[in-house]
Amino acid sequence: MEIYLPIAELSMNVFLLLGLGAAAGLLSGMFGVGGGFLATPLLIFVGIPPAVAVASQANQVVANSISSLQVQWRRGNVDLRMGLVLLAGGMLGSSGGVWLFTYLKRIGQIDFVIAVLYVVMLSTIGLLMLFESLRSYFRRRRNPDGPRGKLHTHYLVHRLPLKLRFYKSKLYISALLPLGLGFVIGILSAILGVGGGFVLVPAMIYLLGMPTAVVIGTSNFQILFVAANVTFLQAATNGTVDVVLALLLILGGVVGAPIGARIAAKLPGVALRALMSLLILAVAAELLTELLRTPSSLYSLGSREVLP
């Protein structure tokens, strides 16, 4: 069954889009990240213009984060103070990101920038996660009841000024750190159409040293508002949010997420992280070959301008 997407201006199979949404939802249920990093490249791959894919995906992220925030909030897993500091950075970053997106689109380099950013980011995160999960797997095998070590290690970044106390996260760190982190995630969110959970979650654990329990809820809190900001700005400045496309992705995701959560409950955390890292690396490898392979056509068209 085909449906015409009014903003993307082409018709596409309904079940393909629902399936894409469900796959992204499955990931978000399994790993607690949005799945946008997989959905956006796939949308572009099936022929949705990149600008529409990114903006509509941001709209999907809004729905995805509200439905998981619902649960996290009730369980008290949101560090509101940390969330607000992250959000302040995220708002600045995403607003700048939408501006940057518009500029890159005008000079015809947006597809390239999207692809390169994905490759760099996904391969970095994927490798880090893979090594981390392998290391913890072998460490546990060597001494299963050994000492747990410090809560988190102290780096140079912990000596920055403007220190704030984050009670729920049991942290006393500089506000500049989450502010900067939120800023970077905001830019990524605007350009790549992702919530940024797959960068934000590891960064909160390894860089900020937040306890795992509050990481998912707090990142969801920040992602919800940043994605809403990206949706709004993309709609207001570029007119590229396709609500029909977004709705299909959301409906697919709503079904996929609980299935993913059920799968996650049956698998050990280390295996889950290893699986996730392999998936991320696979997407990165695919995007890299796209960049390196000789394209079937050297030519493409920019946007049509109807002259007065």
Partner 1 sequence: MRAGMLAALGVAFALCASAAGALAQGPRVEPAPGARPAPGIGGPPDVIAPPSVPPSVPNEPTTPDLIVDLSLARVSITSAFQGESILMFGMFDPPGEIVVVVAGPAARETVMRKQRFLGIWLNTGRQSFDDVPAYYAIAASQPLQRLLARGAGGEILSLEDRLASVKPATPRDAADLARFRAGLVEVKRREGLYPAAIGQVTVQAGRLFRVDLPFPSRLPEGVYDVRVYLLREGKIVAAVSRPLPVGKVGFSAQLAGWASHEGALYGVGAILMALLVGWIGGSVMRRL
Q: Which is nearer to partner 1, 247 or 264 (CB)?
A: 247
Closest CA to 172 of 185, 182, 157, 183: 157
Helix spans in 164-211 (H): 176-192, 197-202
Q: How far is the CB of 114 from partner 1 (least distance, A)?
A: 12
Q: Considering the rule CB under 8 A, would residue 303 count as an interface residue with partner 1?
A: yes
Q: Considering the rule CB under 8 A, would residue 228 count as an interface residue with partner 1?
A: yes
Task: Name the one range near partner 1 by CB under 8 A: 142-150, 180-188, 237-245, 279-287.
Answer: 237-245
Q: Considering the rule CB under 8 A, would residue 265 count as an interface residue with partner 1?
A: no
Give the β-pairing of 2-5 and 10-13.
antiparallel
Q: What are phi and psi of 280, to 5 degrees?
A: -60, -45
What are the beta bridge partners of residue 172? 165
Q: Which is nearer to partner 1, 133 or 220 (CB)?
A: 220
Size of the site for partner 1 (CB under 8 A): 60
Q: Applying CB under 8 A, which of residues 246, 274, 280, 283 lies at the interface with partner 1?
A: 246
Q: How far is the CB of 210 from partner 1 (least distance, A)?
A: 24
- Contact predicate 183/222, CB 8 Å: no
Q: Considering the rule CB under 8 A, would residue 3 count as an interface residue with partner 1?
A: yes
CA distance 14 to 99: 31
What DSSP state is assigned to residue 148?
Answer: -
172: its two tokens: 């006393």
Q: Applying CB under 8 A, which of residues 40, 57, 65, 169 lies at the interface with partner 1?
A: 65
In the block, which residue shows the tokens 């991320």? 280
How far from chain centre, in Å, is Cα 62?
11
Residues lying near partner 1 in the complex (CB under 8 A) are found at: 2-4, 6-7, 9-11, 59-60, 62-68, 70-71, 108-109, 111-112, 116, 228, 231-237, 239, 241, 243-244, 246-247, 250-251, 254-255, 257-258, 291-295, 297-307
